[in-house]
Structure 1
Amino acid sequence: MSENQTGTTVLVVEDERDVRACLRTGLQDRGFDVIEAESRDSALDMIRRNPVDLVTLDLCLGADDGLELARELREARNVPIIIVTALGAPQDRVRGLENGADDYITKPFHLSEVVMRMTKVLRRYELEASASADSGTDLPHLLDFDHCVFDTRRRFVRKLDGRPIDLTDTELRLLELFVRHPGRVLSRDEISLALRGQAWSPLDRTIDGHVARLRRKIDPGHDEPLLIRSVRGVGYVFTGEVCPETGPDDPAPGAMPVQDR
């Protein structure tokens, strides 16, 4: 995908007029269609009334809570959200990603970096949509993440040193759902439909239980989860980096068929 994004509509949510103008002009010069909002109410109105493909969001919007707005925008439409803000502490970045953002850029920024990050996120969403339409037949079956290898065809997960990670069938399907959509917030309803073929009920804690057990197995030894993060009021996001495995298609040492239990 080139930087010339003709036909791609970006919602710029920013209360500083100069920053808004900078983003609008720079993005329009690269072929983006740009609409603007300077508050929570105007942002929600814009995303509901326009075919928005991506949102850039400042976290400091006067009296409005940018993190809360990120969750509301995600609930209104599943489009990429890139936070562009002056809040640059590591904990701010983590909170932004936990609340539905796909990427996080701190001010002052270079417009070329913003465009590069936007293009990358849009491309990832395109590939996900294409993969879903293709029923997964051309997707790589060996995936690396966090010093682990997941063979989605033979249904096993192991550490790079060969040690297997014992997962149930449900946990394997849940993990595959996450690693096929890294960085994308998955709602509990989406997870329930993928795992059980039925809509999620707010009183049902089954999904949360599966996620908790999967976390303990693939991300042990941490007080706070690193790979699968909660997005309050929405669902979960896999924040690890996932890459196709390029090594030999070797069998898993000691791998055994899994049974759901």
Structure 2
Amino acid sequence: MRRSFAVALERYGYEVRVAEDGLAGLEAFREHDFDLLILDVMLPGLDGIGLCRRVRENSLVPVLMMSARGDGLDVVAGLEAGADDYVVKPVETYVLVARIRSLLRRATYSPGPRSAPGPGGDRPADEDVLEFGDLRIDTAGMEVFVAGLPVALTPTELKLLLEFAARPGVVLERHALLRDVWEYGWDGDSRVVDLCVQRLRRKLGRDRIETVRGFGYKLRR
């Protein structure tokens, strides 16, 4: 399966490096600069979830998790470990490529200037800076600060936050976020949204993003 995926992705123009187990994958990750990682949950030695956690200790590289289970336990564990998205085996090559392209677009995402109310509510902020209390988002530098301290976000987390920041106080439905952030053209698994919001809350503050039960989420003004 590893060889067949590598050959298929090379046909799409990607340069692919493979590792036969988690420890070999970790060594390859430390020795090379990758644009994206595809991790199988069921890797020998160090499994994909453990490898994802090790990667997230010092890298924000996009991670696509691959799972064979249908009960969703591995999916949840992988997303909680910091994966950006997942596919379930068996997976068609065109589906895998679509998820890869979406992740790579997020990694190079650059929004246009947006404005937001200033602390007083009627004074516009700098066109490249969004401020919500002690949360500051520099859309030009693609940097986020809380109480003046920088916060490291994955490309997916950053794009999700920018979606909320573009419409503060407006409820965004999960399926709309799947479409706009994850680029699902069909109904995807809303757990990816829920778990990414949880990760954002851990990094930005638990009360920053409000759950509106039965509808979705909104960024507090």
- What range is the shorter-chain TM-score in? 0.5 to 0.7
Post-superposition offset of 1:67: 1.2
Choose the corresponding residue for 1:229, options 186, 198, 220: 198
Matches within 5 A, 1:156-167: none
Choose the corresponding residue for 1:196, options 147, 153, 160: 147
Distance in 1 (alpha carbons) for counterparts of 2:118 and 2:70: 40
What residue is the counterpart of 1:52 in the other structure? 34
- The unaligned stretches of length 5 or more in structure 2 are 120-131, 152-168, 172-192, 210-220
User: Conserved in 2, the CA contact under 8 Å of 1:48 and 1:76?
Assistant: no
Distance in 2 (alpha carbons) for counterparts of 1:65 and 1:48: 17
What residue is the counterpart of 2:78 in the other structure? 96
Distance in 2 (alpha carbons) for counterparts of 1:49 and 1:64: 17
1:80 aligns with 2:62: yes
What residue is the counterpart of 1:207 in the other structure? none
Q: Secondary structure at the match of 1:82?
A: strand
Distance in 1 (alpha carbons) for counterparts of 2:118 and 2:81: 31
Distance in 2 (alpha carbons) for counterparts of 1:41 and 1:235: 28
Deviates more, 1:61-70 or 1:96-105: 61-70
Structure-2-length-normalised TM-score: 0.57
Distance in 2 (alpha carbons) for counterparts of 1:102 and 1:199: 21
Show structure 1 runs of 4+ deviating over 6 A: none
Alpha carbons of 1:77 and 1:218: their partners in 2 closer, same or farther (altered >3 Å)? same
What residue is the counterpart of 1:107 in the other structure? 89
Q: RMSD over aligned Cα, in angstroms?
A: 3.5
Alpha carbons of 1:235 and 1:45: their partners in 2 closer, same or farther (altered >3 Å)? farther
What residue is the counterpart of 2:116 in the other structure? 153
What residue is the counterpart of 1:169 in the other structure? 133
Larger Rg: 1
- The unaligned stretches of length 5 or more in structure 1 are 1-18, 132-137, 142-151, 157-167, 182-189, 201-216, 220-224, 241-257
Post-superposition offset of 1:63: 4.1
Matches within 5 A, 1:104-143: 104-127=86-109, 130-131=110-111, 138-139=112-113, 141=114
Report how many residues are paired: 153
